[in-house]
């Protein structure tokens, strides 16, 4: 995909240069024409009706019931501290995960870095299908350069948050994706790919200078907030303690979590919830149950996770799902052919109904 990037002036203390810089940023994402078109369309539309309740947002009674069930298990469950497992820092794990997920904390890490799940409403040219194509391409790039799992999640989080703040022209969408991967790799990798390697990834679609200018635009738009993001794998490692880190469940859970990356509906979910849905689906596919240990380490009961499991099955059963790069990746024996198993399980065990699974009714 050919991508054109306008020239961007370096920021300076001079107010006039700051104005010029802002204009160049808007020119990069073609924001002026798009915003005008969106504004014109919005004026002609009648007031939108009240949005229905969409999972994971559930009614108060059900939320209170789930909270009481989790609290009861957390009070009675005995967590054995393995002092020899230094990688999971058992002595500090509870405090670490409490800090990352505490909704009462004004700097809650999960809330602070979540994109707007409805940001596509403000995009004039980009669609959810185009986002899926971009994410699938980033999965391919990530695998080709053998980067760390967290790099992929940070990159896609950057893409979604940037698109939440700025309308982007279709011809600039790939630029946003490769720039996000470049930023994530610089932050997460020990030896990050060079800019020249990212140019090669895009088949010389644009130059080294254009990627560096795109990097500055993205970082300025996101206020340089990158390090706060914690991928679902952080919680998945903790949940895996419930089954003594079973390799089959863990591998299948990773595949399901990456499938969730392609589904825009999961933008409403915190990373901790995505990891819980992935492990719950993996356990269900492998014939296991969601016992007290899983509830304790995940913080979610099975009733709350079932709608997410249904979304995963719907995604697996989409036409040409086997052609996705994530499915081809996990079809390899290195990953225990997890994608082949999951798709086959979904075909044999999940039945489509007339009920709208996107809505949770009281």
For the chain, give percent helix, strand, coil, nearest 5.
65, 0, 35
What digits encode the pLDDT tens for the residues 323-350?
Answer: 999 999 999 999 999 999 999 999 999 7
Domain boundary among 221, 246, 272: 221
* Residues 78 and 147 placed together within one structural domain of the fold: no
pLDDT for position 354: 41
Q: Is residue 357 part of a domain?
A: no
**Residue 93 neighbours by CB distance under 10 Å:** 17
* Residues 64 and 197 placed together within one structural domain of the fold: no
Band the pLDDT of 310: cuts 50, 70, 90: very high
* Residues 240 and 331 placed together within one structural domain of the fold: yes
* Residues 180 and 323 placed together within one structural domain of the fold: no
CATH number, position 293: 1.10.472.10
Nearest to 136 by CA among 320, 323, 326, 1: 326
Domain boundary among 196, 221, 246: 221
Question: What span, in angstroms and rounded, lies between the C-alpha atoms of 321 and 329?
Answer: 12
Nearest to 133 by CA among 170, 161, 168, 169: 170
Nearest to 172 by CA among 142, 137, 214: 214
User: CA angle, corner 332, sides to 328 and 336, nearest 5?
Assistant: 120
* Residues 123 and 217 placed together within one structural domain of the fold: yes
* Token pair recorded at residue 31: 């924001």
Question: What span, in angstroms and rounded, lies between the C-alpha atoms of 211 and 219?
Answer: 12
Q: Is residue 8 part of a domain?
A: no
Could you give the 3-state DSSP secondary structure of residue 54? strand
Task: Tell me the sheet residues that pair with 359.
Answer: 54
CB-CB contact of 326 with 339 (8 Å): yes
Domain carrying residue 269: 60-110+230-349
168 DSSP 8-state letter:
-
Q: What are phi and psi of 101, to 5 degrees?
A: -115, 0
pLDDT for position 34: 45
160 or 353, higher pLDDT: 160
Tell me whether residue 130 is exposed, middle or buried, using C-beta atoms within 10 angstroms of its C-beta: 0 to 12, 13 to 18, 19 or more.
middle
CB-CB contact of 224 with 192 (8 Å): no
Into how many domains does the chain fold? Answer: 2
* Residues 253 and 341 placed together within one structural domain of the fold: yes
pLDDT for position 161: 96
Q: Is residue 37 part of a domain?
A: no
Q: Is residue 132 part of a domain?
A: yes
* Residues 104 and 239 placed together within one structural domain of the fold: yes
Q: Is residue 296 part of a domain?
A: yes
pLDDT for position 205: 87
Nearest to 257 by CA among 239, 276, 278: 278
Q: Where are the alpha helices (DSSP H) in 104-172?
A: 109-112, 128-144, 149-165
* Residues 269 and 324 placed together within one structural domain of the fold: yes
pLDDT for position 112: 77
Nearest to 253 by CA among 288, 291, 299: 288
C-alpha Rg value of the chain to the nearest Å: 22
CB-CB contact of 302 with 66 (8 Å): no
Helix (H) or strand (E) run with residue 317 in it: none
Q: How many CA atoms lie within 13 A of 28 on its CB side?
A: 27
Q: What is the mean pLDDT of residues 211-236?
A: 91
* Residues 237 and 282 placed together within one structural domain of the fold: yes
Q: Is residue 314 part of a domain?
A: yes
Band the pLDDT of 207: cuts 50, 70, 90: confident
* Residues 234 and 337 placed together within one structural domain of the fold: yes
* Residues 106 and 154 placed together within one structural domain of the fold: no
Q: Is residue 146 part of a domain?
A: yes
Mean pLDDT, rounded, of the chain: 83
CB-CB contact of 183 with 215 (8 Å): yes
pLDDT for position 22: 52
Domain boundary among 195, 221, 247: 221
CB-CB contact of 38 with 126 (8 Å): no
* Residues 119 and 188 placed together within one structural domain of the fold: yes
Could you give the 3-state DSSP secondary structure of residue 359? strand
Q: Is residue 325 part of a domain?
A: yes
């Amino acid at each position: 995909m050919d991508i054109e990037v306008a020239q961007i002036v370096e920021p300076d203390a001079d107010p006039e240069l700051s104005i010029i810089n802002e204009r160049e940023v808007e020119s990069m994402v073609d924001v002026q024409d798009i915003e005008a078109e969106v504004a014109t369309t919005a004026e002609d539309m009648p007031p939108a009706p009240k949005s229905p309740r969409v999972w994971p947002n559930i009614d108060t009674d059900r939320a209170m019931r789930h909270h009481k069930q989790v609290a009861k298990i957390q009070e009675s469950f005995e967590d054995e501290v393995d002092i020899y497992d230094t990688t999971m820092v058992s002595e500090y794990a509870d405090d670490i995960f409490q800090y990352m997920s505490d909704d009462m904390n004004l700097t809650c890490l999960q809330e602070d870095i979540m994109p707007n799940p409805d940001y596509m409403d403000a995009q004039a040219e980009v669609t959810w299908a185009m986002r899926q194509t971009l994410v699938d391409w980033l999965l391919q790039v990530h695998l080709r350069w053998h980067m760390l799992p967290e790099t992929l999640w940070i990159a896609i989080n950057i893409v979604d948050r940037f698109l939440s703040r700025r309308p982007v022209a279709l011809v600039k969408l790939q630029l946003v994706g490769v720039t996000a991967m470049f930023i994530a790799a610089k932050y997460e990798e020990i030896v990050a790919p060079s800019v020249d390697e990212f140019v090669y990834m895009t088949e010389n679609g644009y130059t080294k200078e254009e990627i560096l200018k795109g990097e500055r635009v993205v970082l300025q738009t996101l206020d340089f907030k990158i390090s706060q993001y914690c991928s679902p794998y952080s919680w998945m490692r903790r949940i895996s303690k419930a089954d003594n880190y079973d390799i089959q469940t863990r591998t299948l859970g990773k595949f399901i979590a990456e499938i969730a990356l392609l589904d825009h509906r999961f933008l409403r979910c915190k990373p901790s919830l995505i990891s819980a849905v992935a492990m719950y689906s993996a356990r269900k596919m492998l014939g296991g149950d969601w016992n007290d240990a899983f509830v304790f380490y995940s913080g979610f009961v099975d009733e709350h996770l079932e709608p997410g499991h249904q979304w995963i099955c719907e995604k697996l059963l989409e036409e040409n799902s086997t052609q996705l790069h994530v499915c081809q990746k996990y079809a390899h024996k290195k990953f225990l052919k997890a994608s082949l198993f999951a798709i086959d399980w979904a075909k044999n065990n999940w039945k489509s109904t007339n009920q709208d699974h996107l809505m949770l009714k009281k």
